[in-house]
Amino acid sequence: MQRTFSAASPHQKLQIFSLYANQNMNNMLDIELHMRSFTDAFVLEARKEKWTGLLCERPANVFNQSSKLFNHLDHNHIEQNDTLENVAQYDKVGVFYDFNHEPKCISFEDAIEAGKGKDAIFSIDPGKLAVCFFHDSWNFVCKR
């Protein structure tokens, strides 16, 4: 028989809460790692500080800046790939950020659907592999 949270002892409740809090903290830390690694690896040197601030702090005007990302990417490390075939396995989980909502961890398959027709970033392997979606339906794979 499975015990419910309300039946747990105070010590067990603290352990459960700590585990939940640590998972959320790891999620937040993972998201920041993905965002920082993206800018370090794929954004032009002169624009790294700006984009690190935009992606990690996410100020109110971040959406207004999203259309400028393409011009601030290091084009030595990006390649247009509108079909996104053979980029990653569809169940691979990464961090998706669409400049409107908080970043979230989702699968590559869900990111492809969520990124259609929007400016968005999907970081698959921090600083090594990401996809940039753009509102004009262009997709660029960022790879190091």
Pairing, β 78-80 against β 139-143: antiparallel
- Tell me: the pLDDT tens digits for 75-132? 999 999 989 999 999 999 999 999 999 999 999 999 999 999 999 999 999 999 999 9
Q: Please say whether the beta carbons of 111 and 94 come within 8 A.
A: yes
> Residue 20 above 50 pLDDT?
no
Cα–Cα distance measured from residue 121 to residue 5, given in angstroms and rounded to the nearest whole number: 37
- Three-state DSSP state, 136: coil
CA quadruple 133, 71, 101, 30: dihedral positive or negative? Answer: positive
Domain coordinates of the chain in residue numbers? 8-143
pLDDT at 12: 61
Show Cβ contacts of residue 10 under 8 Å, excluding neighbours closer than 6 positions: none
- Tell me: the pLDDT tens digits for 28-79? 678 999 999 999 999 999 999 999 999 999 988 899 999 999 999 999 999 9
pLDDT at 122: 97
95-132 burial, b at 16+ Cβ within 10 Å, e below that, comes to bbbbbeeebeebbbebbbebbeeebbbbbbebbebbbb
- pTM attached to this predicted model: 0.80
- Three-state DSSP state, 104: strand
